[in-house]
Structure 1
Amino acid sequence: MKISYFIKLLTVILLVSISNQVKAQENSGTLPKGFVYAKEVIPKLRTDLRYYSENNFIGKPIDGYNKPKCILTKEAAQALKKVQQDFEKLGFGLLVFDAYRPQRAVNQFVKWAQDTTDTKMKNQYYPNIDKKDLFKEEYIAAKSGHSRGSTVDLTIVSLKTGHILDLGSDFDLFDKKSHVNFKNVTKNQRSIRLMLQRRMVKHGFKPHEKEWWHFTLAKEPYPDTYFDFSIE
Structure 2
Amino acid sequence: MKSFLFLVFIFGYSLCFSQVPEGFVDASKYIPNLEIELRYFGYNNFVGRPIHGYDAHILYLTKPTAKALRKVQKELEHDGLCLKIYDGYRPQRAVNMFMTWAQEFNDTLKKNTFYPQVKKKNLFKEGYIATKSGHSRGSTVDVTVVDLKTGEPLDMGSPYDFFGRSSWIDYDQLTEEQKSNRRLLQMVMLRNGFKNYSKEWWHFTLKNEPFPNTYFDFIIK
Cα offset, 1:115, TM superposition: 1.0
Which one of the candidate residues 173, 187, 206 is aligned to 1:217? 206
Give the aligned partner of residue 32 of structure 2: 43
- Deviation track 1:53-73 (CA, whole Å, cap 9, x = no partner) reads 000000000000000111100
Q: Distance in 2 between matches of 1:206 and 1:119?
A: 31
**Deviation (angstroms), 1:129:** 0.9
Alignment of 1:1-232 (within 5 A): 8=1, 12=4, 19=11, 26=18, 31-232=20-221
Which has the larger share of helix? 1
How many residue pairs match? The answer is 221
Whole-angstrom CA distance in 2 between matches of 1:17 and 1:114: 33
Structure 1 residues 12 and 154, CA, compared in 2 at 3 Å: closer, same or farther? same
Runs of 4+ with >6 A deviation: none
List runs of 5+ in structure 1 lacking aligned partners.
1-7
Cα distance in structure 1, aligned partners of 2:191 and 2:103: 38
Distance 2:194 2:178 in 1: 21
Which secondary structure state, in structure 1, belongs to the residue aligned with residue 215 of structure 2? Answer: coil
2: CA distance, partners of 1:116 / 1:13: 42
Q: CA deviation at 1:19?
A: 3.6
Secondary structure of 2:187's partner?
A: helix
Q: 1 CA distance for matches of 2:57 and 2:101?
A: 22
In 2, distance between residues paired with 1:140 and 1:226?
A: 16
Paired residue type of 1:207: N
Q: Which TM-score applies when normalising by structure 1? A: 0.90
Q: What code does the residue aligned with 2:208 have? A: K
Q: 1:117 to 1:161 in 2, by over 3 A?
A: same
In 1, the alpha carbon distance for the partners of 2:8 and 2:52 equals: 27
Q: Structure 1 residues 17 and 112 mapped into 2: Cα distance closer, same or farther (>3 Å)?
A: closer
Letter in 1 for 2:26: Y
Separation in 2, partners of 1:15, 1:133: 43
C-alpha distance in 2, partners of 1:203/1:107?
31
Using the alignment, how far apart are the partners of 1:169 and 1:93 within structure 2? 19
Deviations 1:183-206 (A, max 9, x none): 001011001101100010000000
Q: CA shift at 1:43, angstroms?
A: 2.3
1:139 Cα offset (Å) = 0.2
Change (3 A) 1:195 1:132: same
Q: CA deviation at 1:163?
A: 1.2
For 1:114, the aligned partner's letter is Q
Q: Larger relative CO (CA 8 A, sep 6+): 1 or 2?
A: 2
Q: Which runs of 5+ in 2 are unaligned?
A: none
Instruction: Flag the 1:14–1:103 CA change in 2: closer, same or farther, 3 A.
Output: closer
C-alpha distance in 2 between matches for 1:184 and 1:146: 29
